Amino acid sequence: MKVAFIGLGIMGKPMAKNLLKAGYELQVYDRNTAVLEEMKAAGAKVCNSSVETVEGVDAVITMLPNSPHVKSVMLEDDKLAAHMPKTATFIDCSSINPVASREIAAELEKYGIDMLDAPVSGGEPKAIDGTLSFMVGGKPEVFEKFKDLLGTMGASVVLCGDVGAGNVTKLCNQTIVAVNIAALAEALMMGQMCGVEPEKIFEAIKGGLAGSTVMNAKAPMMMDQNFKPGFRIDLHIKDLTNVVDAAKAVDAPIPLTQSVLEMMKVLKHDGDEKCDHSALLKYYQKLANEVLHH
């Protein structure tokens, strides 16, 4: 199976490499020439344009920052929908507004092209080791055709409903992750200020009901003051803004999401938007005038 992959950033590059390791024929394009050299060394065919990337492929995968970028590549500036084979399927792994996913799918349908929205969860570490969670929206028969392909990049691949359902599910995921990180930061800071070492708190509760994948990943980063991005604050702001838009459309109450979004906006104002979302701790450190430690 021949695959085009467009968008080779923090997540896209390791995902594309896992496709190569699984034996897929891969054609890639990205505006970052350094990453193209790396992908060429890994065995991918490097193309001179996004249009060239989609020639003769069975699937076009995008991993881009937000809705306007996906629309630009597929329908507006690059107009890949007009150049890709009508037998090919568009698989968007970007995390975007589900309304935009449905709009793009409707336009692609005019070209006779099927679409899956397939956003992921797991961040850079799981992108590297191929254990991402895929939340997919689309026709069941199209999903079945490409389930194994997605499975080379993820440990979990679940069809959630029609096109758009993948991104609705991803927004739910991003809400839960954001609120978890904020609660973790709040609890560790409060515990330290009450005289208990954060490491002891983490050790004592991680195996109980409060334990989570979020806690295991982010508590050590917080205690080390390590905010190297696996998933950046500015990207989480983008996702939570999409949550707000989606919730507003159906009048869903989201007070916790709104609160964490405001915390993240404060961090962005402070210049921390490129930090990992575990940097929500910085919001509490600023309020407490105290630094979390081991």
Report the predicted TM-score, pTM, of the whole model to 2 decimal places: 0.91
Look at strands 132-137 and 120-121 and give their pairing: antiparallel
> What is the model's pLDDT at position 30?
86
**Which tokens go with 231?**
């998933």
Rounded Cα distance between 40 and 57, Å, is: 18
Rounded Cα distance between 4 and 279, Å, is: 34
Cβ neighbour number for residue 105 with a 10 Å cutoff:
21
> What is the model's pLDDT at position 45?
97
Split the chain (294 residues) into runs of 10 and give each run's mean pLDDT: 95 97 95 92 95 97 94 95 96 95 96 97 92 98 98 98 97 97 98 98 98 96 95 94 94 98 98 98 98 92
Q: Are 20 and 42 in contact (CB under 8 A)?
A: yes
> What is the model's pLDDT at position 230?
83
* Class of the CATH domain delimited by 168-288: mainly alpha
Rounded Cα distance between 152 and 22, Å, is: 7
Rounded Cα distance between 78 and 272, Å, is: 32
Q: What ranges do the domains of the chain cover?
A: 2-161, 168-288
**Which tokens go with 45?**
């065919």
Closest CA to 232 of 264, 266, 271, 273: 273
Dihedrals phi, psi of 115, to nearest 5 degrees: -135, 145
Residues with catalytic function: 170
Residue 93, class by beta-carbon neighbours within 10 Å (0-12 exposed, 13-18 middle, 19+ buried)? buried
CB-based contacts of 289, cutoff 8 Å, min separation 6: none
Rounded Cα distance between 58 and 153, Å, is: 17
Residue 196's SS3 state is: coil
> What is the model's pLDDT at position 32?
87
**Superfamily of domain 2-161 in the CATH hierarchy:** NAD(P)-binding Rossmann-like Domain (3.40.50.720)
